[in-house]
Chain A
Amino acid sequence: MTVSIVGCGMTDVGEHWSRGIGELAEEAGRLALEDAGLAQVEALYIGNAYGATFNQQTQLGPLIAHQLGLGGIEAYTCEAGDASGGVALRSGWLAVAAGAVRSALVLGVEKSTDTVGPARATARAVSLDADYETVNGATMTAMAGLLMRRYMHENQVELHQFEGFSVNAHRNGARNSLAMYRNQLRAGAFAKAPMLAEPVSLFDSAPDADGAAAVVLVAEDMASDLVPRPITVCGSAVATACLTLQERREPLRLDAVQASAALALAQAGLEMDDIDVFELHDAYTILTTLALEAMGLSEAGAGWRWAAEGGARIARDGDKPISTFGGLKSRGNPSGATGLYQAVEASLQLRGEAGENQVLGAKHAITQSVGGLGATVATHVLSASGD
């Protein structure tokens, strides 16, 4: 059964101190259902990474289903660190594709910012390896720093050469009214930014944020009766790599990115050259760099070249537009919700409803949601209908 996206909704991304996790989810879920013209779905799949540690809250299934007035439907959380949203979309896709349900709401939500300082670093570090990484004081940002320094060392790349990834994200985010940080990044500022875990700086790392985003999935034969422009989910794949960096054969190679992207494209019957829009997991510029290499868009060691000239080649009007609504870096990183923000943003692109962020003539998009430093990777291929 082919699966279509018929509804999209998202909240603004930022610090939502006055709203609970259920209220954020309710807003995104209601917007997506209204967009689809549906009052009820058969199942609810939730992407959430750190409810247990940020919010002391699990069982988001019943909490959010009730908040949305969906009665006693099947509803539960899918967790894979920052890839939680991507794996939730995969779960929804599986359920509809298998014919187990005819319609599903897939909703990502994260409320990060009530937890601050060392408590937040600890809360996020649960997606690393407890026995071999966090026991030694490792954080997600520190592990990204280790990866980035090694990459720079092996390939003789300097810090300022990654700048274009962040400049591009902020250039796009500045036009997204829902983005967390809508400032442009001044040329030359990147390499001078305060260090979080050298060489990863404040202008390299995506900000923790609160937000919720949702899509409505239905079986394709229902879709055209509901909306004029359903989006087809024509590729869906999840792959995993060693949770620790230390146990990977080649830490600078993101095998799960390679595997999930290849599977999703093969399923869609498309080549990488057919893809018009890329929503990648740009939590750190090194992850974007390594993802571009793992997907075959660069030779190993050359992915950073996409950042050249202020990211001109990855801009909305470039060869391979990336982070078209600002990505995690500028739109913000509400961890378990990012995979659904990507799905909504890609759907808007394919509908031609991306406004100031529109990539002209976009027919096919890839969304990629990454947990940890490439341990879980969910890749989806979305296509405009009738193509």
Chain B
Amino acid sequence: MTRTQESPSASLDMAERGADRVYGTLYSYTTVQEPPVGFVGQAPYQLALVGLDDGRLVTAQLTDVDGEIAMGERVEMVTRKLTTDGERGMIVYGYKFRPLIK
């Protein structure tokens, strides 16, 4: 399959349209202690590989994490601010994942 067909953008588009919720499980996660430019204010933050329910993996930050997280935890896609682009302050939005409310 081509990259476009395999990419998570289809799921993202669905989430943006509000057509459906996108769920997945934590394939892996880490905490970024040495952030790149544009992410300094958020550090330390959690980055994850999420296995979407349709079988694809996606790289994204975790958000709204309250307490411990674990491998295999259920998460859902949400739209969040990723970073602020440059001094003019253009806000870049994208997808993050949050644990399902138990």
Dominant secondary structure of chain B at its interface with chain A: strand
User: Once the chains are docked, how many angstroms separate the CA of A349 from the CA of B45?
Assistant: 44
Q: Output the nearest chain A residue to B48 by Cβ-Cβ distance.
A: A146
Size of the chain B interface, CB-CB below 8 angstroms? 35
Given known A132-B59, A246-B57, contact A137–B32 (CB-CB < 8 A): yes
> Which residues of chain B are near A119, meaning CB under 8 Å?
37
Count, A-B residue pairs, CB within 8 A: 104
Q: Output the nearest chain A residue to B47 by Cβ-Cβ distance.
A: A142
> Which residues of chain B are near A135, meaning CB under 8 Å?
82, 92, 94
A141:B34 contact, CB within 8 angstroms: yes
Q: Mark B13-46, 1 if CB is under 8 A from A, else 0.
A: 0000000000000011111111111111010010
> Which residues of chain B are near A118, meaning CB under 8 Å?
34-37, 39-40
B59:A196 contact, CB within 8 angstroms: no
A145 proximal to B (CB < 8 A):
yes
> Which residues of chain A are near B27, meaning CB under 8 Å?
150
A246:B59 contact, CB within 8 angstroms: yes
Q: Identify which of A125, A137, A196, A198 contacts B45 (C-beta below 8 A).
A: A137
User: Once the chains are docked, how many angstroms separate the CA of A371 from the CA of B38?
Assistant: 24
B28:A142 contact, CB within 8 angstroms: no
User: Once the chains are docked, how many angstroms separate the CA of A199 from the CA of B31?
Assistant: 9
Chain B 46-65 residues near chain A, CB threshold 8 A: 47-49, 56-61
A137:B49 contact, CB within 8 angstroms: no
A200:B30 contact, CB within 8 angstroms: yes
Chain A 179-200 residues near chain B, CB threshold 8 A: 195-200
User: Once the chains are docked, how many angstroms separate the CA of A42 from the CA of B31?
Assistant: 48
Chain A 225-269 residues near chain B, CB threshold 8 A: 244-247, 251
B37:A122 contact, CB within 8 angstroms: yes
B83 proximal to A (CB < 8 A):
yes
A139 proximal to B (CB < 8 A):
yes
Q: Output the nearest chain A residue to B1 by Cβ-Cβ distance.
A: A247
B35:A153 contact, CB within 8 angstroms: no
> Which residues of chain A are near B29, meaning CB under 8 Å?
146, 149
User: Once the chains are docked, how many angstroms separate the CA of A244 from the CA of B27?
Assistant: 15
Please give me the 5 A-B residue pairs with the lowest Cβ-Cβ distance, nearest first: A145-B30, A246-B57, A122-B36, A150-B28, A137-B39
